[in-house]
Amino acid sequence: MYHTFSIRLARRDELRAIQHIENTADLMFRRIAMPWVLAMQPAALRALEQARRRGWLWVATGAANRALGFALLTTVGGEAYLHQLSVLPQAAGRGVGSALIATVCDAARAAGHRTVLLSTYTGVPWNAPYYARRGFAAIPLGDYTRALRDVRATERRLGHPVWRRVLMRRTLRDDA
């Protein structure tokens, strides 16, 4: 059980642990009969390291400074893009994910971005509805730019049923 946690930038020697967190967090999808998610590769080491060097890869840590969750921020079409957010099941439900989202939004704003994008599953309680409660709104299909259509094409190639996916955007206020 993790009662307290902190957030800091990831270290280079934590990238494999971060991949492990992503795979382990995805076990949640087993409960709702979405087993294809479990078969997907986690974020590549190269992408993790690129984000880490930019200061856009954070871990939440618990006891002994060990990572129990992470957030990976990249860009899509020039917009900040929350590429992955994962928290170990044994640490879930304690606000770790929410704190990581707040950190991502702060960093995006500090880098001059006005919005944060993400892509997630509709109808999964800890995906689109979770983000909607944290200020993200679904982008209507008709408003997809070329960059957003490319995100969907990539997801289709990776094996996601894209009709169950939704791109969401949060507008960053100056104070939030």
Binding site for ligand COA (CB under 6 A): 25-26, 28, 84-87, 92-98, 120, 125-127, 130, 133
Are 61 and 5 spatial neighbours (Cβ–Cβ below 8 Å)? Answer: yes
Ranked by CB distance to ligand COA, the top (closest) residue is: 97
- The distance of closest approach from Cβ of residue 11 to ligand COA in the complex, given in angstroms and rounded to an integer, is 20
Q: Which of 35, 135, 130, 40 is nearest to 87 (CA)?
A: 130
- The distance of closest approach from Cβ of residue 68 to ligand COA in the complex, given in angstroms and rounded to an integer, is 9
Dihedral class, residue 126 (left if φ above 0, else alpha if ψ from -120 to 50, else beta):
alpha
Residue number, 74 or 84, with CB nearest to ligand COA: 84
What DSSP state is assigned to residue 71?
A: E
Residue number, 142 or 157, with CB nearest to ligand COA: 157
Dihedral class, residue 114 (left if φ above 0, else alpha if ψ from -120 to 50, else beta):
alpha
Residues whose CB is less than 8 angstroms from the CB of residue 36 and which lie 6 or more positions away in sequence, other chains included? 159, 160, 161
- The distance of closest approach from Cβ of residue 174 to ligand COA in the complex, given in angstroms and rounded to an integer, is 23
Residue number, 107 or 118, with CB nearest to ligand COA: 118
Residue number, 133 or 142, with CB nearest to ligand COA: 133
